[in-house]
Structures are given as structure tokens and as C-alpha cells.
Amino acid sequence: MNHSTETVWLPDLMFTGVRFESGLALVCDQRGRILRLAPANEVQNAIALKNRALLPGLINAHSHAFQRVIRARTEHRSRNNENTFWGWREMMYSAAARLTPEDIYDASRMAFLEMALAGITTVGEFHYIHHAPDGTPYDDSNRLAKTVVQAARDVGLQIALLNVAYARSGHETEPHPQQVRFIVKDPESYLKQCEQLSFELQKMEGVWMGVAPHSVRAVPLAYLKEIIRFGNERRLPIHMHVAEQPGEVSACIEEYGRSPVALLETEGLLSDQFTAVHAIHITPKAAWMLGQSGARVCACPTTERNLADGVVPADELFKQKIRVCLGTDSQVQIDLLEDARELEYHLRLSNMKRAILEGPEEKGPSSLAVRLFKCATENGAGSIGAPGGSLVPDRSADFFTIDLNDPSITGAARDDLISHVVFSLSRTAIKDVVVGGRRIIEEGKHPQQEQVVEKFRILQKKLWQ
């Protein structure tokens, strides 16, 4: 029986975590929470989703939304001819230094719109631009954090604002003039900022905070300990760039006599609240340390290959039963399913073997795809504390639908449809996106799409022409 306070969605197929099933409806309440999955013949007044399959919304666990403005603008040699991450970073900094609060809103809204169109329903925003371009704090120290949050809310996404601590350029390194917008020099100021931000965000639906020490090179150990203590006491998500670059590992060994993961482990800073972003340049022993602590790893394969960072050792991470999630990071391309398949494909190139991440305990032709899809959903939800990620009672009604007649997946059998989705789906197949029971994308389009795109076009013209 369908109650007047319930909303019912009825697709042709629904992904229930392992397989697609037919004859099921998703029932949610007025708050946008899932009540149950019900047999189709037991519901009334359903919203029919013909020729559609319904899947849990994707969780983007690591994003720098403002970097959407530099997409394709860094695909050339840097001026100092340092054709690595460090050369790219200089170009990124030069763009970040020129953005006004209004620019950050328009850039963020564009990135979040693209996420929604790609089936992403929740984002973990690793936010580190805090001050005016000259480094002067705004009267409201959280002005830019709230600007990014507002952009996400206006698009309709849920957002974990991962507030970044950035204290220095590095160990025995001169201050970098283009980092002045990022720097919060002492933990007292940073934690005061976090307290106020948390108080303000808790008034907003679908918004929460996490803490994010940027990296070992940017946050000295005493400061780092204060942040993680604060996060642990409040059970907040704790995210940190870890071992993205060999230079970062070398600098950590020089300063502390230990690699980044070893430092975190020996200082008691790893836990099930901790997510190591990237974790590329780690040893099997470091992977074991992460696994023993219950920490997660967020891989960002599209960015990592774009920046020539290296390949995430996902096979070793999976061996240690580490829950791997995914992020779009620099926004060079916003397609979390592409990141999921790259997690496997990059290892194939390195090992010249196929199906590397398929677990020996898993059965069936789609088991690898199921495992990768979990990285893009459930694992991401656990990393950032998102209320969605799976279609089970009392979770947020966050989902997307795909057109079963889209050329990229047409002809797929039900038993192998999840493999088609993970390895072959085109973003053109995504038709509906629902967040908290509210449809924000219908027939592949957002109601504010034209205005968001136009504002971003004007911003890009201002920045680059």
C-alpha cells in the first residue's frame, strides 16, 4: 500500500548491491530517506522510469572544485620546463591567486553541475583557499568555504566540506608567495575556524564538515596531531594527501626519518576515520599499516595519470582489505566510472595482465565490476560520512538512472549489465539523478544548466582572454 507521505520510484531494473533485479520499487519518505525496496505489485502511484535501470548515487570523495578553471590549460610544458606535478602546481597556483569569491562560486557550481550530470550525488570538497588573494583573512574566515557549500547546494548535491589546514611550504622551505591564500599558521586559528564552520554547517541539510591536514610537507607534526585529535574527538572524516609524489616521501624521511605512512602509524594518527588520498608511493609494509588501522585510501586515477603522479597500487591495497574510494580531484575530467575502470586498467598496463583486481573469493562474470562500483559508492560514503552510497532502508534516497537503450550499453543482459556500466557506460546514458528524494537531473539535464554554463563561460573569458 502506498501512503500519501511516500514517494515511489519504479524502474525496469534496480541494482541491489551485487546484481540487477526487476520488479522492485524504491520507496522513500518526505525527508528523502529510503523506507524499503518493495515488490512492484505492492505499490501505487509510482513514478515510472521506463527503459531505465536505477543505481545508488556515486560518491566523489576528493574534489578541488575551483580547479575546473584550469582544465586543458596546463597541457603544455611549464615555463621552467619542469614537466612534472611540481610544474603543473605552479600553473594551478597562478590561477588560484586570481579568483574572487564570486569566481570561486561560479567555478565550483560548474564542477558540481558536471558531477550531477555524471551521476554523482555527494562530494567531499578538499577546500584550501581561505583568504583574499593577498593573503588577508576575510572578516568571516569561512567565507570561501561557505561559498563552495552554497554552490553545491544550489546544484543539489550533498557535500562534506573537508576544511584544509595548510601551514607552510615544506620542511626548511622558503614561504611560497602564491600559497598565501591557503596558509593558516597555527592550529589554534585553524581549530577556531573549524568550530565556527561546523556550527554554521549543521544548520544546513545535506552538509557536514571534515578536517583535512593538507600533507606532511604542509603541516608540521605538532599541528597535525592537534587536527587529528580534534577530528577523532568529534568522529569527523579526516582526509590527507599521502605519498602522492616521491619528493614528498623523500622530504618526510629527511625531516622525520620515516616515510609519511610510517610517521602517521608510529605517531598513532591512523584510524578508521582517516583517508589517505593518493597513497601512490608506498611500500607493501605501508599498505599493511594502513590496513591494520582501518584507514581508507582515496584514489584519483584520472588526475594521477594526467599529472604523471604514478599508479595507485590498488592490488596491494585490496590484498590488505583496505577500502578504496575514488575522487575527481583536479576536475580534468569528471567521470567517476572512468576513475573506477582506470583503477584496474592502470594495473593492466603495469603488469600486462587482465582482471587484476578481481578477488579470488568472488564468483561470477561481473564480480570485478561489482568490486569497482563499490569503490565509487559504498566505500566513498564511508570515507566522507555520506548518508547515501547504497539502496538500503534509512539511507538517503540518492540514485541515478541509466537509459537501457543507450548505444554504449544496449544489448547488455541483466547478469552482465553492471560490467557494461563500469567498463563501457557513456555519460549520455545517465538520465535521472535524485538526491535526498529530489530529482535534480531529468532526461539528462539540470534546470539551471544553461545559466551555470553561461556564467562559467564568462568567467573563463575573464581569466584567460
**Percentage of residues in the chain with pLDDT exceeding 90?**
91
Q: β-pairing, 158-165 with 207-213?
A: parallel
Q: Is the pLDDT of residue 275 over 80?
A: yes
Q: Three cell numbers at 232?
A: 577523532
The continuous run of DSSP H or E covering 459 comes out as helix 449-464
Dist CA 48 CA 10 (whole Å): 5
Domain boundaries 58-384, corresponding CATH code: 3.20.20.140
What are the backbone angles phi and psi of residue 372, rounded to the nearest 5°?
-70, -40
Q: Is the pLDDT of residue 256 over 60?
A: yes
Q: Is the pLDDT of residue 382 over 80?
A: yes
Instruction: Tell me the mean pLDDT in the region 235-256.
Output: 97
Q: Three cell numbers at 37?
A: 525496496
Q: Does the fold of domain 58-384 match that of domain 7-56+390-449?
A: no
Instruction: Tell me the mean pLDDT in the region 214-219.
Output: 97
Could you write out the DSSP letters of every residue in 377-388?
THHHHHHHT-S-
**Percentage of residues in the chain with pLDDT exceeding 70?**
97
Q: Three cell numbers at 243?
A: 605519498
What are the backbone angles phi and psi of residue 23, rounded to the nearest 5°?
75, 25
Q: Is the pLDDT of residue 3 over 60?
A: no
* β-bridge mates for residue 438, sequence order: 435
Q: Is the pLDDT of residue 364 over 90?
A: no
pLDDT in tens, 115-174: 999 999 999 999 999 999 999 999 999 999 999 999 999 999 999 999 999 999 999 898
* β-bridge mates for residue 296, sequence order: 275
Which residue's entry shows cell 563552495? 148
pTM of the entire predicted model: 0.97
Q: Three cell numbers at 415?
A: 547478469
Do residues 325 and 298 lie in contact, with contact meaning Cβ atoms separated by under 8 Å? yes
Q: Is the pLDDT of residue 4 over 90?
A: no
Q: Is the pLDDT of residue 363 over 70?
A: no
How many Cβ atoms from other residues are within 10 Å of residue 372's Cβ? 27
Do residues 144 and 127 lie in contact, with contact meaning Cβ atoms separated by under 8 Å? yes
Question: Coil, strand or helix: which one is 214?
Answer: coil
pLDDT in tens, 85-112: 878 888 899 899 999 999 999 999 999 9
Q: In the chain, count of helices (H) and strands (E)?
A: 15, 16
Q: What is the pLDDT of residue 81?
A: 60
Q: What is the pLDDT of residue 1?
A: 46
Counting other chains too, the contacts that 318-321 makes at CB distance below 8 Å and 24 or more residues apart are 318/357, 318/359, 318/371, 319/287, 320/287, 320/288, 320/290, 320/291, 320/292, 321/291
Q: List strand residue ranges (DSSP E) for 349-446, in order.
A: 399-403, 430-435, 438-441
Dist CA 272 CA 292 (whole Å): 10
Which residue's entry shows cell 554554521? 200
Higher pLDDT, 63 or 83: 63
Dist CA 422 CA 419 (whole Å): 5
Cα 169 to the chain's mean position, in Å? 25
Q: Three cell numbers at 240?
A: 590527507
Q: Where are the domains of the chain?
A: 7-56+390-449, 58-384
Dist CA 447 CA 440 (whole Å): 8
C-alpha to C-alpha distances, 18 to 15, 40, 89, 390, 415, nearest whole angstrom:
7, 20, 40, 11, 10
End-to-end distance of the chain based on CA atoms, in angstroms?
A: 59
Return the closest-CA partner of residue 180 out of 144, 227, 133.
133
Q: Is the pLDDT of residue 365 over 80?
A: no
Domain topology for 7-56+390-449: Urease, subunit C; domain 1 (2.30.40)
Q: What is the pLDDT of residue 208?
A: 98
Question: Which 8-state DSSP code applies to residue 136?
Answer: P
pLDDT in tens, 16-28: 999 999 999 999 9
The region that residue 120 occupies, defined by phi over 0 for left and psi between -120 and 50 for alpha, beta otherwise, is beta
Instruction: Tell me the mean pLDDT in the region 53-67.
Output: 98
